[in-house]
Amino acid sequence: MPTALIDGRELELGEHERLNGIEAARRLGIEIPHYCWHPGLSVVGSCRMCLVEVGMRDPKTGQISMLPRLVPACNTPVRDGTVLVTNSEKVQRARAMVEEDLLLRHPIDCPICDKAGECRLQDYHFTYGQEQRRADIRPFTSRRRDVGSEITLFVDRCIMCSRCVRFCREISGTSELLVVQRGAHEEIDVLPDFPLNNKLSGNVVDLCPVGALCDKNFLYRQRVWYLKSHPGVCTGCAIGCSTWIDENQDHVWRIRPRENLAVNRWWICNDGRYDYPHVHSDQRILVPRRRDGEAWTDLSWNGLIRELDSRLRQAGRIGVVLSPFLTVEEAFLLASYARQVDPQAVIVVGHVPVVDEDERFPGGFIIAAEKCPNRRGVEAIASRMMGRVLAWEAFLGEVSSLGLRGLWVSGGYKRPWIDEATVDRLRGLELLIVQDLFPSPLTERADYVLPAAAFPERDGSYVNRNDHLQSVRWAIRPPRGVRPEGSVFWELLGRSGLYDAPGALRELAAEIGYFHLALGTIPEGGVNLKTNLLA
């Protein structure tokens, strides 16, 4: 087995593994500070923060010979016999000098900088920097440059790691950002009339290790130490990127990518990043309502579930529409309830919004045309329970011949999705229950309108278009009056206690073979259900 030696500890390497010094050290829990290196970008080795001592061990004699100079760990492949020393005095002195050099020109404007609290320059200074500053602190300048519709650049804070420039060349493939001037005068800039407006531009803010590139949507709105980060899944399209939802007191302030090599690697698109204002919209449906003749009556949840249950049982022949915005647990519970009321209940896969075509970027990132997170999961449930996948559009064609008397339509749509003409095709139902985020022509025609939960308020799992299942917990509490769908369906089924999403997933996995792998512990990055089908 090839073996490297890092700070005196052995690290076994896989046969064909290609790690650099930073990655190899990380395997042993040793953090080598770095600015310019990022696992998703090419290596430039320019910041010199990752300098380490490097040598080779003779496989026969075991004798170690070290290079006389320090080398960047990011640019050092670790092979059999490689020796790294990351904690010697020489290394520590080099790091302190790099920090001192960067801080000579860096404005000390941390109290007004958006990055304070998550700034690498700040953190590394306290961990690796000198205790005392030898240069004078001069009044700082904060030259600000508008580089795009979402992004602003604080020129003097930049440490010229060039991550943002490489991102635009290698991942988005748009090359808007470039380095102008030379030496100590180097700056990041855009060309006139060619701003940073690509659909992945927000990622440069996450990549920036200091507060140079800032997001205009977040600038000066929250201090990061007030935010709590929750793992989430983007519901903007069928890719289901892993995200961090940053909230403070039940208000979402920021969405960032969460590393998931099986789904989105380190990136998300701007559509997903800025897809949360609807959560706090004052247009949301917040109270359950019942139509009484021409008038509407606001209801409380007290006794409402019993009332809905008895109305559905009276209707006898019913159908349910499983929205592709529901989690698989919610869809399973609603479909199970429908089958309990009417063993022949019609189970429909809700409207799947599609906008244009997939957008593909040179770095491999894809924005799917299908603008919902869980069509695949909901289809798997519907096809098992119904024996076929009955899509919304096909259902509208068949509805008059199905003899339905009651229909429950789950929604959760963030944008308008249904028109008057479509609603007209649902005429003749005795009971129409609609659960959605916003009023629509369908809610106007309903007998009961129930508020739906927004994506950060839900517990459960989504299956992306590549059969990858990810489970998340709620990040914020829903507004008063809103009960997440899972809890409503749980009570409809007559279950006691609080809605238990992991329990519902286990039940689903035991019943439907497609979800079988979800029976075990689901890793943080999710599990691919297709592996199960292939096995």
Q: Give residue 333's Cα distance to chain centre.
A: 25
Stretch of 33-41, 61-69, 77-85, 449-457 contacting ligand FES, by CB under 6 A: 33-41
Residue with Cβ nearer ligand FES (86 or 270): 86
**Would you state the structure tokens that stand for residue 376, as one six-digit string?**
């695949």
| Interaction of residue 124 with ligand FES, rule CB under 6 A | no
Stretch of 31-39, 56-64, 125-133, 180-188 contacting ligand FES, by CB under 6 A: 31-39
Residue 408 near residue 421 (C-beta atoms within 8 A): no
Which of residues 13, 25, 74, 346 is near ligand FES by CB under 6 A? 74
Q: How many residues bind ligand FES (CB under 6 A)?
A: 12
Residue with Cβ nearer ligand FES (72 or 148): 72
Q: Which residue has the tokens 């349910």?
A: 320
C-alpha 484/C-alpha 325 separation (Å) is 12
Which of residues 4, 5, 41, 49 is near ligand FES by CB under 6 A? 49
C-alpha 399/C-alpha 486 separation (Å) is 26
| Interaction of residue 34 with ligand FES, rule CB under 6 A | yes
Stretch of 34-42, 321-329, 474-482, 515-523 contacting ligand FES, by CB under 6 A: 34-42
Stretch of 43-51, 362-370, 395-403, 422-430 contacting ligand FES, by CB under 6 A: 43-51
State the CB neighbour count (10 A cutoff) for residue 123.
Answer: 14
Q: What is the CA radius of gyration of the chain?
A: 28
Which of residues 50, 91, 212, 341 is near ligand FES by CB under 6 A? 50
Stretch of 9-17, 48-56, 81-89, 399-407 contacting ligand FES, by CB under 6 A: 48-56
Which of residues 5, 13, 24, 36 is near ligand FES by CB under 6 A? 36
Question: What is the dihedral sign for C-alpha 206, 207, 210, 216?
Answer: negative
Helix (H, G, I), strand (E, B) or coil at 503: helix
Residue with Cβ nearer ligand FES (50 or 390): 50
| Interaction of residue 395 with ligand FES, rule CB under 6 A | no
* Footprint of ligand FES on 300-329 (CB under 6 A): none
Cα maximum dimension of the chain: 93
Q: How far is the CB of 19 from ligand FES (least distance, A)?
A: 14
Per the document, the length of the chain is 535
Q: How far is the CB of 71 from ligand FES (least distance, A)?
A: 9
Q: How far is the CB of 121 from ligand FES (least distance, A)?
A: 13
| Interaction of residue 195 with ligand FES, rule CB under 6 A | no
| Interaction of residue 35 with ligand FES, rule CB under 6 A | yes
Q: Running DSSP on this structure, what letter comes out for residue 80? A: T
Which of residues 5, 30, 48, 410 is near ligand FES by CB under 6 A? 48
Half-sphere exposure of 118 (CA within 13 A, CB side): 16
Phi-psi region of 223 (alpha: psi -120 to 50; beta: other; left: phi over 0): beta
Alpha helices in 171-295 (DSSP H): 203-207, 270-273
- Nearest to residue 406, comparing CAs of 327, 342, 334? 342
Which of residues 2, 45, 316, 441 is near ligand FES by CB under 6 A? 45
Residue type (1 letter), 35: Y
C-alpha 401/C-alpha 226 separation (Å) is 56
Residues that bind ligand FES (CB under 6 A): 34-37, 45-50, 72, 74
